[in-house]
Structures are given as structure tokens and as C-alpha cells.
Amino acid sequence: MVIHALLAVTLAMTSLPAQAKTVDCARVKCLALTFDDGPGVTTPTLLKTLDKAGAKATFFLVGKQVELRQKVARQALAQGHAIGNHTYSHASLTPLPDGQILDELKTTQSAIQQATGLRPKMFRPPYGDTDDRVLGLAGEAGLAQVMWTGTTLDWQLRDTKKIKAAVLRLAKRNGVILMHDTVPATVKAMPEILKELKKRGYHLVTVPTLLRGKRLQAGVSYP
Ligand SMILES: [Zn+2]
């Protein structure tokens, strides 16, 4: 029995996404694609595309969207993607009083935990709107802040060719690219984008994989 249990554990470990063990961003060229505002109608298509390409990404989820699409959130996690908190109502946080900011963060933590079993360790402020007070409150909620090195403005471009060009222009080693899985053109452009990024030698990893060795700390801003 014990031997069987051990075998089962070993097998379970070896069947983990290969990247979790093998991609070392200190040695290879890594890039983190991040998708905000979901889970949305187009998220399942994106998940299929990422899976097919063997790419991992990071999703910053909106609490009320998670309540609408719990299964999609669960699927993202099951496929080895990382999940972060993007507030409950996609509110701009800096004008809000402390209590409301904490509420936005904590309600989303609960929604994500309820849907996926995971309590996120990172959050991204909507509109990139943040300050020291928001960061401090995020720390209280046990969350690290994750920003980006390049934003595609995909919600404005809404054109597959332009979005692809923006990602390729912004891609750099250890970069963090901001996109939206709720923008249909982004999801549509993704097969081509992934193909080109891989051709250029990028390993597409989650934010925690990218930051491995630094460890995400609550109340600290990355990258
Ligand atoms: Zn957003």
C-alpha cells in the first residue's frame, strides 16, 4: 500500500506541467504574458490556444467575473496558469477609502478561492492606478502587486495585426506583457503571437516562474 501510494505520488509529480520544474529563467529567455479582466466569453478559446502551444500565462481575474464563470477560472488553474486578483468590480483603487479597497481585494480573494481552491498571492490594480496606501493595504490582504514592463493597449487597438506587432515590439527577456483575454482580437491574434515568440526563443512562463528566486512578497511591487 505504502509503495503504491509513493508510486502514485511520484507519478503525479512527474505529470506536473514540465515548466514547473524545468524552465529556469536565469538560464533561458523568458517572457510572461498576462491577461486581465476575465474570465470572459473569449477566455476558453485563449486557454485552448495556450494549451496547444504549451505556453503558460498569468490571469488577473475580476471577482464578479469569477462568480459568473467559476469553471473557466478553475480550468485556467488546472492548465498550469497563474492566477491573480484584479479587484471585485474593476474599480480604480486610489480614490477609495481604506475599507473599500480592502473589500475589493478580499471579496475577490474569496471568489477565486471558492471557484478554484486557490487563494492568490498577487494582485494587479485596475488601470494601473496605485500608490503607497494601496500597496500597503494589499500587503495587509497578503498580496504582492504585479505591474508590467509593456502594455499592448489591445483594448484600444482591437486589431489582430496591430496587437501582434505591439506584443513583438514590447517583448524582451524577463518582460511582463499586459493584455486582456476579454478583447476578442487579442484572443484571435494569440496563435500567431505565440508562434512568433517561440521562434524568437522565448519561453512563455507565469509571473511566479519568471520571478522565481525573488519570491513574491505581500505589499511589494513587481517586476
Ligand atoms: Zn483591468
Residue 171 backbone dihedrals phi, psi, to 5 degrees: -65, 130
- Cα gap 185→193, rounded to integer Å: 12
pLDDT band at 212 (very low <50, low <70, confident <90, very high): confident
Quote the pLDDT of residue 18.
43
Residue 61 alpha carbon to ligand 1 centre in Å: 8
- Cα gap 223→218, rounded to integer Å: 13
- Cα gap 171→30, rounded to integer Å: 10
pLDDT band at 12 (very low <50, low <70, confident <90, very high): very low
Quote the pLDDT of residue 216.
87
Residue 126 alpha carbon to ligand 1 centre in Å: 4
Quote the pLDDT of residue 131.
97
The pLDDT of residue 176 is above 60: yes
The string of pLDDT tens digits covering residues 120-148 is 999 999 999 999 999 999 999 999 999 99
The pLDDT of residue 168 is above 80: yes
- Listed as own residue / partner, the contacts of 135-142 with beta carbons closer than 8 Å and 24 or more positions apart are 135/219, 135/220, 135/221, 136/219, 137/98, 137/101, 137/102, 137/105, 138/105, 138/218, 138/219, 139/218, 139/219, 139/220, 140/102, 140/219, 141/102, 141/105, 141/106, 141/109, 141/218, 142/109, 142/218
- Listed as own residue / partner, the contacts of 102-107 with beta carbons closer than 8 Å and 24 or more positions apart are 102/137, 102/140, 102/141, 104/63, 105/137, 105/138, 105/141, 105/143, 106/141, 107/63
Residue 90 near residue 37 (C-beta atoms within 8 A): yes
Residue 214 alpha carbon to ligand 1 centre in Å: 25
The pLDDT of residue 190 is above 80: yes
Quote the pLDDT of residue 55.
97
Tell me 218's DSSP state: T
- Assigned C-alpha cell, 189: 491574434
* Helix ranges (DSSP H) in 92-177: 98-116, 132-140, 154-157, 160-170
Residue 27 alpha carbon to ligand 1 centre in Å: 32
Q: Which residue has the cell 504585479?
A: 146
Positions marked active-site? 36, 180
Residue 124 alpha carbon to ligand 1 centre in Å: 8
The string of pLDDT tens digits covering residues 36-83 is 999 999 999 999 999 999 999 999 999 999 999 999 999 999 999 999
**Residue 89 CB partners (closer than 8 Å, separation 6+):** 62, 63, 64, 104
Q: Omega of the bond prior to 95 within 30 degrees of 0, cis?
A: no
Quote the pLDDT of residue 183.
96
Residue 59 near residue 83 (C-beta atoms within 8 A): yes
Mean pLDDT of the chain: 91
Q: Higher model confidence: residue 5 or residue 153? A: 153
Residues with CB under 5 A from ligand 1 (ion): 36-37, 126
Quote the pLDDT of residue 213.
65
Whole-structure pTM value = 0.89
